[in-house]
Amino acid sequence: MRAALYGRVSTGNGDQDPEVQLDELRTWAQRLGYEVTATYIDRLSGAKGAEERPALAKALTAAHRREYDVLLVWALDRLSRGGIAATAGILERLKRCGVGLKSLREPWLDSVGPVGDVIVAVFAWVAQQERERIAERVRAGLERAKRHGTRSGRPIGRPRLAVSRAKAASAVTALGSIRKAAERLGVSDRSLRRLLG
């Protein structure tokens, strides 16, 4: 079986060396009887999406071309820190290419073995539940905003000035200018002009 290795280190910590991960992955691949045909290393945050990580993007393109049979990662957080949905997306892409995924630190994450389809299905199901919960929270927030007379938490139309027209006119007369009156009343010149319009 042909294996590709994927390693990632964060740029924020100069002490990190991807060889720490890769050495263990090479030893593991040898134990499994896999031939290592490619190595991909990213040196940036795992919070970035797959498309923003050049080495991972290359690994996924190579998977599409069937240049290897299984992608080995040191740990799941090396592959993605974008949550279950991001990981499920990567797993699904690999599965469509006929490529498996194994994690050294999470032995249960083995989409090559007999329960591979189940692993991918569970990840996809959890990701779907996560998306539905997010959508529910957004809908609940919008409903609450509507009940309080706003759209998306913003007031509908222009917000009313906390200054009456009479008080504004009095301030302008006393201070001799709209700019000074606006400053004293804590409103913009433009709002004050509009109020007195």
From the centroid of its chain, how far is CA 50?
Answer: 10
For the residues of 12-60, what is the DSSP string, one character each? T-TT--HHHHHHHHHHHHHHHTPEEEEEEEEES-TTS-GGG-HHHHHHH
pLDDT in tens, 66-88: 999 999 999 888 887 777 777 78
pLDDT in tens, 36-65: 999 999 987 656 665 678 999 999 999 999
What pLDDT was estimated at residue 150? Answer: 65
- pLDDT band for position 127 (50/70/90)? low
Q: How many CB atoms lie within 10 A of CB 102?
A: 22
Can you count the helices (H) and strands (E) in the chain?
8, 6
Q: Class of 2-130 per CATH? A: alpha beta
List, in sequence order, every residue forming a beta bridge with 2; answer none if it has no partner: 35
What pLDDT was estimated at residue 80? Answer: 78
Euclidean distance between CA atoms 143 and 132, whole angstroms: 16
What residue type is 188 in one-letter code?
Answer: S
What pLDDT was estimated at residue 13? Answer: 53
pLDDT in tens, 88-113: 888 889 988 999 999 898 888 777 76
User: What ranges make up the beta strands (E) of the chain?
Assistant: 2-9, 35-43, 70-73, 100-103, 150-151, 154-155
- pLDDT band for position 7 (50/70/90)? very high
pLDDT in tens, 158-190: 666 778 888 888 888 888 888 888 888 888 888
What pLDDT was estimated at residue 110? Answer: 78
3-state secondary structure of 182: helix
Considering the candidates 10, 80, 170, 188, report the single residue annotated as catalytic.
10
Query: Is 10 known to be catalytic?
Result: yes
Tell whether the model's pLDDT for residue 119 goes beyond 80: no
Domain boundaries, the chain: 2-130, 165-196
For residues 46 and 18, which has the higher predicted lDDT (pLDDT)? Answer: 18
The reply to whether the predicted model has a pTM over 0.75 is no
